[in-house]
Amino acid sequence: MKRIIVLSAVLLLAIAGSAWAGVYKGLYKLVWSQDTEVCAAILNLFNADMKQYGEIRYEQQKIFAEWKPMALPDDASPLHCGSVMKATLDINNDGTEDMVVKKVFCFHGMDSDGLFIFPADSDISTKLTWANMRDLLFNVPNKVDFDSYELKRWPKSKKDNLPTVLGQPLVLEPFAWQGTTYLSMTERYNNYWIVIVKYKGGETLEDICYFGTTSSKKS
């Protein structure tokens, strides 16, 4: 009986993992760039993972932020896939490190990311609870947290044939490349687009690269 329970648990985890994986397993192509050198380098890195694993393994790439779990003092998240973590990096490229808090919340049973930016010496990690999260986290002025994101630099003449919006559930992963911090954004399930941006402060993003696929059918 015990063996059956263990096997059932393993099966459920496997099903959950596959359900959260992106549907696209092929290689990406560069479809628009503001910085060819950076975009080509990151595209090669992503495609190496896609070719080997069928997914991008951010946690295995040294350029990406190293997230540390935040233990909140009150009850566990009311959302079964909710979690909070933090990393220290200069996300807005102003020469000063920031504390970036990542809130992973549930969107139709899948993880979706939001990033919230504080000074590096902020005491948010000691004050934050599940109960006060809306006031202390969601309402901060500096964040990357949205329901949808339009590809602002994609030519209007092409918008009828290709998807031009990212929507939840989202994967948001900051990374550093040659002394500059960027942010990779894609949909967790319909991962047909990857958008590379720079965070400019407040809720402002500057588009740098668009990686697309030949299977980009979602609009």
pLDDT in tens, 180-198: 999 999 998 888 899 999 9
Q: What is the pLDDT of residue 108?
A: 63
Quick: pLDDT tens for 26-51: 899 999 999 999 999 999 999 999 99
**And the tokens for 73?**
């003092």
Q: Which of 182, 179, 175 is nearest to 200 (CA)?
A: 182
Side chain identity at residue 193, one-letter code: W
How many Å apart are CA 219 and CA 138, to the nearest integer? 27
Quick: pLDDT tens for 68-119: 998 877 655 555 567 899 999 999 999 999 999 999 887 666 678 999 999 9
Q: Which sequence spans correspond to the domains of the chain?
A: 23-67+80-212
Tokens 């109960």 found at: 131
Dihedral pair phi/psi, residue 65, rounded to 5° = -60, 145
How many Å apart are CA 68 and CA 204, to the nearest integer? 25
Q: Is 209:43 a contact under the CB 8 Å cutoff?
A: yes
Dihedral pair phi/psi, residue 169, rounded to 5° = -75, 140
